[in-house]
Amino acid sequence: MAISTIRRQENISAILSREGEQGRESGRDGRANGASEGTAVERPDEREPSRFPLITNVRLPLIIDAVDLGFTAEEQAFRLEVRDWLDRNLPSEWRHRGVGGFREEEETDLQRQWQRRLHEAGWLKLAWPKQAGGREATPVMQAIYQEETEKAGAPIILGRLGVSLLAPTLLVHGSQWQKDTYVEKILSGDLNFCQGFSEPDAGSDLAGLRARAERRDGHWVLNGQKTWSSGAHYADKSFLLARSDAEAEPHKGISFFLVDMHQPGVEVRRIRQMTGGGEFCEIFLSNAVVEDRDVVGEPGAGWKIAMTVFGFERGGLAQAARFERVVAELAVLARDRGAGADVTVRQKVAQAQIEAHVFRLNGLRNLTKAQHGDAPGPEASLTKLYWSEMDKRIQEMAVGVQGPYGALAPGSPFAVEDGRWQYGWMWAQAETIYAGSSEIQRNIIAERVLGLPRGR
Ligand SMILES: Cc1cc2nc3c(=O)[nH]c(=O)nc-3n(C[C@H](O)[C@H](O)[C@H](O)COP(=O)(O)OP(=O)(O)OC[C@H]3O[C@@H](n4cnc5c(N)ncnc54)[C@H](O)[C@@H]3O)c2cc1C
């Protein structure tokens, strides 16, 4: 991987081309729209010719200074290996498009099967140490893998919270018994975990959580309420924070429990969302029992372990690939809805393309840091803030270009593209809340990246 400063002429006309044909040609080569190697986006206009081509082929010379990752021959070979495996193992009917293609409730079986397939092929241990059966993939290789799966439209996996958050946390903080008992089952999908951190009055201010854990008859007994727990309705267990020492300072009296969700002391209620789905749940704990062996780390060390969990909640190049695809689809939508000649729409599409590209460059910068062994710092908040706010703008525009049709719900017989953009718009509203709301990210950026004085 080489890092160099480049001066490059950007051509954003690939997405705003006059002729559908011309757009198809530029879309075939990712480099044609200024993307670096390996970022070739399969443009939707490769699949279907446009009925409403945008008017002019505007070539905007845009000179930029950027970090450029030139991939090594080994990394290129790895990319081809991933692509080849996906070609052979990801059936076309499992692939989704960039927006609204994934509807969690309708596809749990598919997500379960996909997870098993990835696990059997060893992909879920890509970054793991060799002695733990992994491949010790570098951050660049991990990013390549994620990007390729995203570009292929791979479904998400059912046990993603366990796989991406809990399993690596157990490798760091878990007892040998916990590693032996849980890790393989988490990866294979035999055991699904949900995350029980947030409470009705403790979200951003997680240290204010009130669920309590008491010692009784040689067990831990838990009482309280959790909320917004993704996938709790199909989870076998939860990794959950509860206050085990009421006298200690807020951050210090918290423990990290692995709670059996199938016991009588646990009730799960699904929360109805505006999408019509109910992927998030409330969890009510009424004398739920946890054995000592299911406490991760020492009692009272839960906050530190939760911070490890948050460290694994990262976005990156995979998201960049997703947004590039979404913007390309947005351009086709605008053209197909007859809005391609509208100057405002054209400017917004171009702006969205630029934002997606800036996001990729920032991802490459973060990747460069990771490749040099630097842990992600508070600047990870920039990534979260950027993509979630950008996605909201893109989705809003997509609904807007549909005119009155934008108001139709997914499933309506007259909805454009089965209402997948409306579905995407509804989902995007959650993105600036989960994994740290935009306001919280701005506070972190202000105080810890820019060094501004604390406002409170
Ligand atoms: C789709 C989705 C999935 C989720 N999945 C899970 C899950 O699986 N497990 C889990 O434990 N949790 C989950 N959550 C919960 C999520 O972590 C919280 O919603 C999030 O942390 C915000 O907390 P809150 O909802 O309590 O809002 P609050 O913290 O009450 O915030 C309300 C508003 O006040 C603002 N605010 C709060 N504090 C400050 C401040 N100091 N300065 C400025 N503004 C502030 C916030 O930005 C927000 O706009 C999920 C949430 C969503 C939306």
Give tens-digit pLDDT for 82-132. Answer: 999 999 999 998 888 666 655 666 678 899 999 999 999 999 999 888 988
CA distances for 127 relative to 122, 133, 149, angstroms: 10, 10, 16
- Within 13 Å, how many C-alpha atoms sit on residue 235's CB side? 32
**The pair of three-digit structure tokens given for residue 257, joined into one six-digit string:** 């429990």
Is the CB of residue 430 below 6 angstroms from any atom belonging to ligand 1? yes
d(CA 100, CA 330): 12
310 lines ligand 1 (CB under 6 A): no
Question: Using 50, 70 and 90 to split pLDDT, how confident is the model at 74?
Answer: very high
Of residues 320 and 157, the one with the higher pLDDT is 157
Tell me which of 45-49, 231-235, 299-303 is least confident.
45-49
In the reported structure, the alpha carbon of residue 440 is separated from the centroid of ligand 1 by a whole-number distance in angstroms of: 9
pLDDT at 8 over 70: no
**Ligand 1 within 6 A of CB of 437:** yes
Residue 339 in domain: no
Report d(CA 63, CA 103) in Å as an integer: 40
Residue 432 Cβ contacting ligand 1 at under 6 Å: no
Residues 211 and 173 in one domain: no
pLDDT of residue 57 exceeding 80, the answer is: no
Residue 63 located in a structural domain? no
Per DSSP, 316 falls in state -
Per-residue pLDDT at 9: 34
pLDDT tens digits for 168-214?
999 999 999 999 999 999 999 999 999 999 999 999 999 999 999 99
Q: Between these two residues, 314 and 224, which has the higher pLDDT value?
A: 224
The answer to the question of residue 109 being in a domain is yes
Verify that 182 and 197 share a domain, yes or no.
no
Domain end call among 296, 311, 327: 296
169, part of any domain = yes
Contact between residue 308 and residue 314 where contact means Cβ atoms under 8 Å apart: no
Buried b / exposed e along 52-69 (16+ C-beta atoms within 10 A):
ebbeebeeeeeeeebbbb
Residue 72 falls within a domain, yes or no? no
Same domain, 91 and 179: yes
Q: Check residue 278 and give its pLDDT.
A: 87
Same domain for 117 and 201, yes or no, is: no
- pLDDT for residue 64: 43
For residue 231, the ligand 1 atom closest to its alpha carbon is 8
Average pLDDT over residues 210-221: 97
How many distinct structural domains can be found in the chain?
2
Closest ligand 1 atom number to CA of residue 438: 47
CA distance 406 to 394: 14
Question: Which residue minimizes the CA distance to atom 18 of ligand 1?
Answer: 203
Which of these, 121, 262, 107, lies nearest to 191 by C-alpha position?
Answer: 262
CA of 451 relative to ligand 1 center, distance in Å: 24
> How close is the Cα of 281 to the center of ligand 1, in Å?
14
CA–CA separation, 80 and 127 (whole Å): 18
The percent of residues above 90 in pLDDT, for the chain, comes to: 63
CATH code of the domain containing 126: 1.10.540.10
Residue nearest to atom 38 of ligand 1 (CA): 204
* Range of lowest pLDDT (14-23, 74-83, 393-402): 14-23
Ligand 1: which of 102, 105, 192, 198 to mutate, most ligand atoms within 8 Å of CB?
A: 198
Residue with tokens 């393989």: 184
275 lines ligand 1 (CB under 6 A): no
Q: Answer yes or no: is pLDDT of 45 > 60.
A: no
Stretch 4-14: mean pLDDT, rounded? 37
Q: Is there a contact between 310 and 241 (Cβ–Cβ < 8 Å)? A: no
Determine whether the shortest distance from the Cβ of 291 to ligand 1 is under 6 A.
no
pLDDT in tens, 406-426: 999 988 999 999 899 999 999
Of 296, 324, 349, the one marking the end of a domain is 296
Residue having the nearest C-alpha atom to atom 25 of ligand 1: 203
In-domain check, residue 395: no
Tell me the CATH number at 249. Answer: 2.40.110.10
- 178 and 221 inside one domain: no
> Would you say residue 182 lies in a domain?
yes
Which of these three, 264, 296, 328, is where a domain ends?
A: 296
Determine whether the shortest distance from the Cβ of 280 to ligand 1 is under 6 A. yes
The rounded percent of the chain whose pLDDT value lies above 70 is: 81
Quote the CA–CA distance of 243 and 300 in Å, as a whole number. 8
Supply the residues annotated as catalytic: 313
CA of residue 434 to ligand 1 center, whole Å: 6
Model confidence at 456, pLDDT cuts 50, 70, 90, reads low
pTM of the shown model = 0.83
Nearest CA to 277 out of 150, 418, 95, 411 is that of 411
- 275 and 212 share one domain: yes
Amino acid, single-letter form, for residue 399: V
Element (H, E) at 221: strand 219-230
- CA torsion angle 400 402 404 408 (round to 10): -100
Q: What are residue 295's DSSP bridge partners?
A: 257
For residue 433, the CA-to-ligand 1 centroid distance in Å is 5
Which one is predicted more confidently, 241 or 168? 241
Same domain, 203 and 284: yes
Taking 80 as the threshold, does the pLDDT of residue 41 lie above it? no
Range of the domain at 161: 79-186
**For range 352-358, the mean pLDDT:** 95
The atom of ligand 1 lying closest to the CA of 198 is: 11
Mark whether 216 and 278 lie in a shared domain.
yes
Angle (CA) 95-98-99 rounded to 5° is 115
- Is the pLDDT at 427 greater than 70, yes or no? yes
Average pLDDT over the chain, rounded to an integer: 83
Give me ligand 1 centre to Cα 312, in Å: 18
Which whole number is the average pLDDT over 298-323? 84
Task: Give the pLDDT score at 54.
Answer: 36
Q: How sure is the predictor about 159, in pLDDT bands with cuts at 50, 70 and 90? A: very high
Q: Is 138 in the pocket of ligand 1 (CB under 6 A)?
A: no
Torsion of CA 334, 336, 342, 347, to 10 degrees: 30
pLDDT classification of 239: cutoffs 50, 70, 90 = very high
**What is the per-residue DSSP string for 24-52?**
HHHHHSGGGGTPPTT-----GGGTS--SS
- Atom from ligand 1 closest to the CA of residue 205: 29
Is 201 near ligand 1, meaning CB less than 6 Å away?
A: no
- Bridge-based pairing of strands 280-290 and 295-296 is unpaired
| Same domain assignment for residues 267 and 209 | yes
Let me know whether 202 and 179 are in one domain. Answer: no
Task: Indicate if the pLDDT at residue 4 is higher than 80.
Answer: no
CB 38 within 8 A of CB 77: no
**Does residue 285 fall inside a structural domain?**
yes
Of the ranges 35-44, 241-250, 318-327, 379-388, the best mean pLDDT one: 241-250
